[in-house]
Structure 1
Amino acid sequence: MNRRLLMTFACMTLGACALGPDGKPPAMPQPAHYGVTPQTEASVTAEGAAQRFDVGAKPVPEWWKLYRSDALNALVDEGLRASPNLAAADKSLVAAREQLRAQVGSSLLPSIDAGGQATRQRGLGIPEAGPPTVVYNLFVGQIQANYTFDLFGAARYANASLAAQVDQQAFQLDAARRALAANIVTGAIGAAALHAQIDVTERLVALANDDAHDAERRYALGSASRTEMLGAQQNAAALASQLPGLRAQWLATRHAVAVLLGRTPDRAPDDLDLASLTVPSDVPVVLPSELLQTRPDIQAADAALKAAAAQVGVATAQLYPSLSLSASMGKGGFNWPTALSGAGALWSVGASLSQPIFHGGALLAQRRAAIATYEASVEQYRQTVLAAFQNVANTLASLETDSEALAFADSASRAARDASADAAARVRLGAIPPRAARGSEQQYLNARLSTIRASSARMSDTAALFQAMGSPVVSAAHLSKSGESTIK
C-alpha cells in the first residue's frame, strides 16, 4: 500500500506517466531474399515473353491493368464498386469511427444535461399538526454538469485502444479490397482457361469418336481386331467423361465471379479470351523491410498490438484514484410563482474521490490478463510477418516454375502443331490414312491443354504476387484516409 501511494503521488506530481507498453512492434529479421535461393532477375521466356523481377520496386497501383484487357479492367472496377461485402465492411468502419468519436467526447469532455419535473403528490400528514393527508405540487428545473478528471490516463488509454481497433478494421477493409481485386482477376482467368480447355477437349472427343467409328468399320470389314475396336470406343468414352467435370468447374467459376461482382449467378459475365490477356512483363518485388508497410494484414496486426498495449494502460490506471466533479443549478417550488422567484433557487456543487482498496484481486488479475493479451499480440504480429514472407516466397517460386513449365509446354505444343500440319498435308497427298492425321492432331491438342493450364497458372500466380506485395487497388488519398489513426 505504501508503494502504491508513493507511485500515485509521483504520477500526480509529474502529471502523467506511462502505465503500459509503448505498443511498438518487435524487431523482425530482414532476410536477404524471400526464398531459399536468391531471387532471379527474370524468368525464362515462355510464349515469347519473359517476366522481369524488379527487386526493390514499389507496389503497382491498379496492377490488373498490366494485363491490357479492357474487359478485365471493367470487371475489377465493377467488383470494387458493387461488392456487398466491401459495402458492408465500409459501413461497419464508418460505424466504428462514429463510436470512437462518441467515446472520446464522453470521456474527455464534461457532460451537461438539462431536466425538468412537474409532479402532483398526495402524502401523509401529521394528524396532531394538521390534516391527515397533504396534496401538493412540485416544480423543478435544473442544469447538471459532471466531469471526471483523467488523472492517470485511463480514458486516454481506452480511447487510444479503440482508435487502434478502428485502424485495424480499416486495414482489414483494405486487405479485403485487395483480395477482391485479385480474386476477380484469378477467377476471370480461370473461367477463360476452363472455357479453352472445354473447347479443346470437345475437339479431342470428336476425333476419338471418329477413331471409334473408323475402328468399327474396319472391324466389320475384317481389317481391325475386336480389341482394337473396343480400345477406340473406350478411349472415346474416357475423353467424353472428362467434359461434365470441366463444365461443372467452369460454371462454378463463372458463378463465383458473378457473386464477386455483386451479381446473381445467372448474370455471370462473358468469359475473357485467354489469348487476349498479356502477362505483365515487369513484376515488383518489394524489399522485406518495406513489406511491413505495404501489406495491410501486417499493418492490421500492428494496430492490434497497439490496441492491446493501450489496454494494459487502462487496466493499470484502474488501480489508482479517480476524481469526479458535479454541479447543478436550477429552480424549484411548490407552485410556479415560487419556483420562478429568487426563493426557488437550487444549486449544488460536489466532488468525489475514490481509491480502490480491495476488489478480491480482480483489478490485478485484469491487469495480468491485459499484459498476457499484449504479449500474445506481439507473437501474433511476428507470426503475421513470417506468414507474409512465406506467402511471397511461395508465390515467387510458383511464378518461376510456372514460366519453366509453360516454356516446355509451349515448345511441345508448337512441335506437335507442326507435326499435325505435316500429317494433314500427307493425308491430302494420300501418303498416310486419315486416322494417322487424327492421331497427330490428338497429340497436338493434348499438348495444347498443357499449354493452356501452364499459361493460366502463370497469369494467376502473377496476380497472387501483386497481392502478396501489398499492391494498392484504390487512390493513395483514400488509402491514407483509411489507414490514418483517428486519435493522435
Structure 2
Amino acid sequence: MAALLAGCAAGPDYKAPPVDIPVSWQLEAPWQQAAPGDADDKGPWWLRFGDPQLDALQQKALANSPTLDLAGARLAQARATLAGANAGRYPQVGVGARAQRFEISANRPLTNYAAPNYSTVQNDFALNLTAAYELDLAGRVRRSVEAATASAAQSAADLENTRLLLTTDVASAYFSLRSSDIELDVLARSIELQRRALQFVTDRHDLGAVSGLDVAQQQALLDNTLAQVDLLRKQRSQYEHALATLTGTPAPSFTVAADVKPLVPPAIPIGIPSEALERRPDVASAERAMAAANAQIGVASAAFYPSVMLLPSIGVDSRMLSSLFDSQSLLWSLGVTATQTIFDGGRIRANVDFTKAGYDATVASYKRVVLTAFQEAEDGITGLASLDRASAQAQTAVESSRRVLEMAAGRYQGGASTFLDVITAQQALLTTERQAAQINGQRMQTSVFLVKALGGDWCGALPRSTAADARTGCPAPLRQVAGTR
C-alpha cells in the first residue's frame, strides 16, 4: 500500500494556463515574415551591428558586471536548494560514537524497594549506525523537488534575462552616445558655416554695405548654436558614465573617444508571435514561477496526511572497550513513527489557501508578461518601419535645406534679398540635420529594443549568402531580402 500511495502526490499537477496568442504581427512595409527556429543561437546578437568598439564594451560588461554576478549567484543558490530537496528522496544515514566514564548516584529513585541502589563508577563505550527515511505517501518530498526544479529553471531564465537586459542596455547607451557624436559634428559644421557667414557680413558692414542689424542677427544665431553644444556634451557625458557603470568601471576612469560614422541598423528576422514567447527569458521565468507555485500547493496540502518515518538503527554498547564488538554487545532497533494532525485551528488550511493565492498571482504575472512581450515586439516592428520612412524623408529635407541655403546666400550676395533669409536658411539646415541625426539614433535604439522584445538574436534565421560573418558563423546582415527586414 505504501508503494501505491507513493505514486500519488497531494496538490494539482501543473498545467500551463492557456494564453491568447495572435497568429501574426501587424506588418507594414518593408517588413516580411521570417522563419527563425527556437533552437538557433540567441547571441551574441550585437555582432550584427558590425561595430568593434560595441563588441569590446559588451565583452567587458559580460565579464565585469556586478548585476550579472548577482544573477549567477542566485542561480547557484537555486541549484543548491534543488540538490537539498533531492536529498529528501533518499535515506539519511548517520554514525555515532560514545566514550564516557561516569558515576551512578546511590540516592537515585528505587526501581524495587527490595533491592537497594549502590553508587558505581564505570565506563561506557558505544558505536551505532542510524538511518531515517520518510515514506512520501502524500508526495510532500516529490512536490518539494518539483518546486525546487522549477525555481532553479526560473533562476536560469532570470540569468539569461539579466544578460539580455545588460547587453541591450550597453547597446542603447552606446548608440545614444554615438548619436550625440553625430549631432555634435552637425553643430561643429554649422558653427563653422555660421562663423564664415558672420565674418562675411561683418566685412560688408565695415564697407558700409549692410547695417549693424545683420551682424547682430548672425552673432545671435552663432551664440545660440554654441549653447546647444554645451547641452549635447552634457548628455554625451551621461551616456559615457552609464556605459562605465554597465561595464563595471568607475566613471572617472572611463572614456569613449568620439567617433562619427554612419549608423545602420541590421536586418532582424521577426518570426511569429508564438516564437517570441518561446525565446523571451522573462516569459520563461514567469512560466517557471507558476510551476514552482503550483508545486508549493502540493507541499502545503501534504500536511493534511500522516507523516511516516522509518527509523532503523544498529550498534554495539559495552562497559569495556575490549568487549565492544562481542556478540553480547549488539543492540538494534527497527521502528516506524507516524504523526497525524488532529486539530490545528485551521493552520494547514490557511497555508494551502495562501499557496493557492500565490499560484493565482503567478498566473496573473505570467499573463501580464506575455501581453507586455506582444506589446513591445509590435511597438518595435511598427516603430522601426515608421522610422525607416522618416529617416529617408529627413535626408531629403537635409538636401533641400542645403539648396535653400545656397540660393539664399547667392541672392543676398547679389542684393536681391535681406540677410534674414540667409539666417533663416542656416537655422533650417541646422534643424533638419539634427533631426536626421536624431531619427537615425532612434532607429538604432529601436533596433536594440526589438532585439530585446524578440528575446535575442536568431543566428541561423537569415537566408544564407556567400558572404558569411567569420566572427559569428552567421550570414552577413542583408537589407531588404526575402523573408527578412
So what's the TM-score if we normalise by structure 2?
A: 0.82
- Unaligned residue ranges in structure 1 (runs of 5+): 1-8, 43-51, 476-488
Alignment of structure 1 residues 87-106 onto 2, 5 Å? 87-105=69-87
CA distance in 2, matches of 1:109, 1:246: 65
CA distance in 2, matches of 1:290, 1:467: 13
Q: Is the 8 A contact 1:187 1:257 kept in 2?
A: yes
Letter in 1 for 2:313: S
TM-superposed CA distance for 1:40, in Å, is 1.4
Partner residue of 1:22 out of 3, 10, 13: 13
Q: In the alignment, what sits opposite 1:78?
A: 60
- Does residue 250 (structure 1) correspond to residue 214 (structure 2)? The answer is no
Q: Secondary structure at the match of 1:125?
A: coil
- Does residue 117 (structure 1) correspond to residue 98 (structure 2)? The answer is yes
Give the 3 Å change call, closer, same or farther, for CA 208–424 of structure 1 in structure 2.
closer
Q: Secondary structure at the match of 1:318?
A: helix
Q: In the alignment, what sits opposite 1:54?
A: 33
CA distance in 2, matches of 1:437, 1:222: 19
Give the 3 Å change call, closer, same or farther, for CA 257–473 of structure 1 in structure 2.
farther
Q: Secondary structure at the match of 1:54?
A: coil
Q: In the alignment, what sits opposite 1:39?
A: 27
RMSD across aligned positions (CA): 3.4
Q: Is the 8 A contact 1:21 1:309 kept in 2?
A: yes
CA distance in 1, matches of 2:332, 2:359: 46
Identity %: 28
CA distance in 1, matches of 2:98, 2:246: 57
Q: In the alignment, what sits opposite 1:463?
A: 448
Please give the per-residue CA displacement for 1:244-273, whole angstroms capped at 9, x wherever unaligned: 221121011112112222333244353474
Give the 3 Å change call, closer, same or farther, for CA 271–404 of structure 1 in structure 2.
farther
Q: In the alignment, what sits opposite 1:66?
A: 48
Letter in 2 for 1:125: A
CA distance in 2, matches of 1:259, 1:111: 47
Q: Is the 8 A contact 1:58 1:284 kept in 2?
A: no
Partner residue of 2:154 out of 146, 156, 168: 168
What count of residue pairs does the alignment treat as equivalent? Answer: 451
TM-superposed CA distance for 1:158, in Å, is 0.8
CA distance in 2, matches of 1:473, 1:119: 70
Q: In the alignment, what sits opposite 1:5?
A: none
Q: In the alignment, what sits opposite 2:247?
A: 261
Q: Is the 8 A contact 1:69 1:276 kept in 2?
A: no
Give the 3 Å change call, closer, same or farther, for CA 404–163 of structure 1 in structure 2.
same
Please give the per-residue CA displacement for 1:310-336, whole angstroms capped at 9, x wherever unaligned: 111111111011111112222222331
Q: Is the 8 A contact 2:90 2:133 kept in 1?
A: yes
- Does residue 347 (structure 1) correspond to residue 332 (structure 2)? The answer is yes
CA distance in 2, matches of 1:221, 1:418: 28
Letter in 2 for 1:74: A
Q: Is the 8 A contact 1:181 1:473 kept in 2?
A: no
Q: Secondary structure at the match of 2:127?
A: strand
Q: Secondary structure at the match of 2:311?
A: strand
CA distance in 1, matches of 2:260, 2:212: 42
TM-superposed CA distance for 1:235, in Å, is 3.4
Q: In the alignment, what sits opposite 2:126?
A: 140
Give the 3 Å change call, closer, same or farther, for CA 65–418 of structure 1 in structure 2.
farther
CA distance in 2, matches of 1:263, 1:463: 23
Q: Is the 8 A contact 2:65 2:247 kept in 1?
A: yes
Q: Secondary structure at the match of 2:294?
A: helix
Q: Is the 8 A contact 2:10 2:140 kept in 1?
A: no
Give the 3 Å change call, closer, same or farther, for CA 167–76 of structure 1 in structure 2.
same
CA distance in 2, matches of 1:141, 1:373: 47
